[in-house]
Amino acid sequence: MNIQQPDIYYQVSMENPELHLFQVNLTVSNWVDEILDIIMPVWTPGSYLVREYSKNLQEFSALDAKTNQSITWQKKSKNHWQIEAKNTKEIKISYKIYANELTVRTNHLDSTHGYFNGAALFFYIPEYQHIPHTVSIIPPRKDWQVTTSLLKISHNTFCADCFDTLVDSPFEIGTQEIDNFVVSDKPHQWVTWGKGNLDKEKLIKDTKAIIEKEEELFGDLPYEDYFFLLHLSGSGFGGLEHKKCCVLNYPRFGFRKKDKYNRFMQLVAHEFFHLWNVKRIRPKELENFDYSKENYTASLWFCEGVTSYYDIFIPYRAKVYSRKTLLDLLSKDISQYLSIPGRHIQPLRESSFDAWIKLYRRDAYSNNNQISYYLKGQFIALFLDLIIRKNSGGKKCFDDVMREMWQRFGIDEIGYTEEELKGVIEEVAVQDLTEFWDLYLNSTQELPFNEFFKPFGLKLEAKTSKDSHPYLGILIQKEGGMEKINFVDANSPAGKVGIEAGDELLAIDGFRVGADNIGDRLRDYQEGDEIEVTIFHQDELKSLMVTLDKAKVFSYQLKVMDKLNDNQRTLLANFFGEE
């Protein structure tokens, strides 16, 4: 059995960045086997969708690096290349990657910068994922600098101790702005590409407060240095966690208004919280990554839902926003949840497991048959937090669950099972949670918000409006001069007569109607009235008779009760902490 390990060296250049093509050269030295198999990942950790990164690959070639002669190769599958390497100890593989998709999970190259994720650019050799990989960057211009979390070993040359680390270390190459700051004697950076209306001084102040609160929760910062990479784009939104950095995409002019700035700081808190929850505290199924296919787990509700719960509370604890804003944000999320019919169809555990085929592949029908594990998982974390606080008289909270998960699984990066996760929460709650699990994770039982809120002096109230109207069950958006129906509640009056997303709405009872005035028109009717709805359905003019339903409530507000008893007052103060 051969025990000699090869050397794996990547060179990445971008001679004409305007063409959006990364030139990648992979040199494998000290190769002794007759066959070299190389595979490109189909997904990247933290984003649970097969993205088929090899679709962007072109102009593949393989050479004997010593003789510069071509080597025979064949493509075995969509992302698997096999090279005949008999008597060839040094193999040079060249290819180009088209990079014109600006998201946190993909690659982007233009005249202003180059950004790439390891999973979307590099091959791995299956039996040698565990060994070091070296990467050299050749920028197109002298003023372009390289930002990455990898160990720098020489000018623009970096080393990853294994392929997992390479995938976990994105690269930003260009003239990005770098702002340095220190938290707990550790260096941090904001690395920003693009122009916008971001107040860097305020950003750094609030970021430091968020880091300090999350460090306080877990007890330590599990890195020596860290950077936040921010892409300021026209309308993008997203974040992706890594062990020593995170990547954020946000609208360049989305910082002036307070609500939009708060949303951004939630994104910062969310991705930073993933340092612990997901990057180190992770399900058993994600303990070791298989980059060639889906990695199924039913625990994404904990990975993402719990993190979403904390991304609301951490900025509040850090005094980024007030208690009123906290209540408004919770109210907004609850209103969104209660407006989605799919909560009655898809259990939370199933939502987690089916992320690969549903969450990232939404269509016009999705709200009818699925619910986000981010959104519902957030409320399960809230309920569990309230249970723990109530059972302990305010002496414990969900923070204790996270600390215990960190000690048992995160520090040594040991994957947890569903049973182990439930067991830790039960230990902290001092309660058997089997019934809770069956009701709220394994079934579609409606979440009883006020039942959990009442002991804390909180109540969820439906917002009544003078402008309410009978329910038709459609959402409309103007598209190129047309009034396009983009969602139909499957169990609504419109859904029951066959109106579909994609139809063009023309009139109600013979009069033109659209997104701007449909609410006003429906207010002229009562529950039970029959109206004629005229549409174009696949270019066919149709008039359908629809019986209107009673008005629906889609907006709720979480409030503190007017009168509190002593227990409620104590628990409420404990829940909110110091403002």
Q: Quick: pLDDT tens for 231-243.
A: 999 989 999 999 9
Residues 399 and 317 in one domain: yes
**Whole-number Å distance between alpha carbons of 496 and 530:** 13
- What is the pLDDT, as a whole number, of residue 161? 98
- Whether residues 426 and 315 share a domain: the answer is yes
Counting beta carbons within 10 angstroms of the beta carbon of residue 545, is it exposed (0 to 12), middle (13 to 18) or buried (19 or more)?
exposed
Examine residue 556 and state whether it is found in any structural domain, yes or no: no
- Tell me: the pLDDT tens digits for 22-66? 999 999 999 999 999 999 999 999 999 999 999 999 999 999 999
How much is the average pLDDT of 455-475? 91
The CATH number that applies at residue 76 is 2.60.40.3650
- CA gap 219, 403 in Å, rounded: 8
Q: Is the pLDDT of residue 577 over 80?
A: yes
Distance (Å, rounded) from C-alpha 81 to C-alpha 38? 5
Q: What is the DSSP letter of 326?
A: H
| Tokens 């209660």 found at | 338
Per-chain mean pLDDT for the chain: 96
**Residue 4 confidence (pLDDT) above 90:** no
Residue 157 lies in a domain: yes
H or E stretch including 558?
Answer: strand 556-560
Residue 336 domain flag: yes
Rounded to an integer, the average pLDDT of 532-544 is 96
579 — pLDDT class (breaks 50, 70, 90): low
Closest C-alpha among 25, 40, 37, 43 to residue 127 = 37
The residue from 146, 173, 200 where one domain ends is: 173
Cβ-proximal residues to 295 (8 Å cutoff; 6+ apart), any chain: 43, 48, 285, 286, 289
**Alpha-carbon torsion, ordered 207, 209, 214, 215, to 10 deg:** 110
Q: Are both 325 and 451 inside the same structural domain?
A: yes
Contact 225, 207 (CB under 8 A): no
Extract the tokens encoding 209.
């407060």
Give the count of domains, the chain.
4
Asked if residues 502 and 364 have their Cβ atoms less than 8 Å apart, the reply is yes
Q: How far apart (Å, rounded) are the C-alpha atoms in residues 188 and 420?
A: 34
What per-residue confidence (pLDDT) applies to 1?
42
Provide the pairing of β-strand 133-138 with 80-84: unpaired
Task: Name the more confident of 245 and 87.
Answer: 245
Shared domain for 228 and 106, answered yes or no, is no
Q: Per-residue pLDDT tens for 131-179?
A: 999 999 999 999 999 999 999 999 999 999 999 999 999 999 999 999 9
Amino acid at 574: N
Residues 517 and 412 in one domain: no
Report the b/e string of 363-379 with b at 16+ CB within 10 A: eeebbbebbbbbbbbbb
Long-range contacts of 246-255 (CB under 8 A, 24+ apart): 246/271, 246/272, 246/274, 247/104, 247/170, 247/271, 248/104, 249/102, 249/103, 249/104, 251/196, 252/194, 252/195, 252/196, 252/197, 253/196, 253/197, 254/196, 255/196, 255/197, 255/198, 255/199
Which secondary-structure segment (H or E) carries 93?
A: strand 91-98
Confidence of residue 364 (pLDDT cuts 50, 70, 90): very high
Average pLDDT over every residue of 190-215: 97
52 token code pair? 């088929």
Q: Is 212 found in the same domain as 192? A: yes
Report yes or no on 478 lying in a domain: yes
* Helices H / strands E in the chain, number of each: 16, 28
Do 215 and 134 sit in the same domain of this protein? no
Nearest CA to 452 out of 579, 307, 303, 572 is that of 572
Instruction: Kindly state whether residue 461 falls inside one of the protein's structural domains.
Output: no
- In this prediction, residue 292 carries a pLDDT of 97
Q: Residue 537 belongs to a domain with what CATH number? A: 2.30.42.10
Q: Is residue 567 part of a domain?
A: no
Tokens of 416: 């947890």
Backbone angles phi, psi at 211, to 5 degrees: -60, -45
Structure tokens at 311: 């991304």
For residue range 410-449, list pLDDT tens digits in order: 999 999 999 999 999 999 999 999 999 999 999 999 999 9
* Rounded CA separation 395/388 (Å): 9
Q: Are 86 and 139 contacting, i.e. CB atoms less than 8 angstroms apart?
A: no
Per-residue pLDDT at 372: 98
Q: Which domain holds residue 214?
A: 177-257
Say yes or no to pLDDT of 252 above 50.
yes
> For residue range 170-179, what is the model confidence (pLDDT) as tens digits?
999 999 999 9
In a domain, 464, yes or no: no
Q: How far is CA 417 from CA 194, 233, 283, 372, in A?
A: 42, 39, 6, 21
Report the share of the chain in percent with pLDDT over 90.
96
> Of 173, 201, 223, which residue constitutes the final position of a domain?
173
| Same domain, yes or no: 85 and 149 | yes
Please give the sequence-ordered ranges of beta strands (E in DSSP) within 175-225, or none if there are none. Answer: 177-183, 186-193
Show the tokens assigned to 71: 């080597």
52 and 123 share one domain: yes
Domain stop point among 408, 425, 456: 456
**Sequential DSSP letters for 232-289:** EESS--EEEE-SSEEEEEEETT-SSSHHHHHHHHHHHHHHHHTTTBTTTB-BGGGSS-
pLDDT band at 3 (very low <50, low <70, confident <90, very high): low
Mean of the pLDDT values across residues 209-234? 97
Please report, for the domain that includes residue 300, its CATH number: 1.10.390.10
The pLDDT of residue 463 is above 90:
no
Using DSSP's 3-state secondary structure scheme, residue 181 falls into strand
Looking at the chain, the whole-number percentage of residues with pLDDT higher than 70 is: 99
Check whether residue 154 and residue 190 sit in a common domain: no
In this structure, the answer to whether residues 169 and 182 fall within a common structural domain is no
Paired tokens of 74? 């064949």
Whether residue 386 is found in the same domain as residue 348? yes
Residue 578 inside a domain? The answer is no
Asked whether the predicted pLDDT for residue 466 surpasses 80, the reply is no
CA angle 387, 388, 391 (to 5 degrees): 80
**Which of 194, 190, 192 is closest to 226 using CA atoms?**
190
3-state secondary structure 494-555: HHHCCCCCCCEEEEECCEECCCCCHHHHHCCCCCCCEEEEEEEECCEEEEEEEECECCCCCC
Determine contact, residues 24/40, Cβ cutoff 8 Å: no
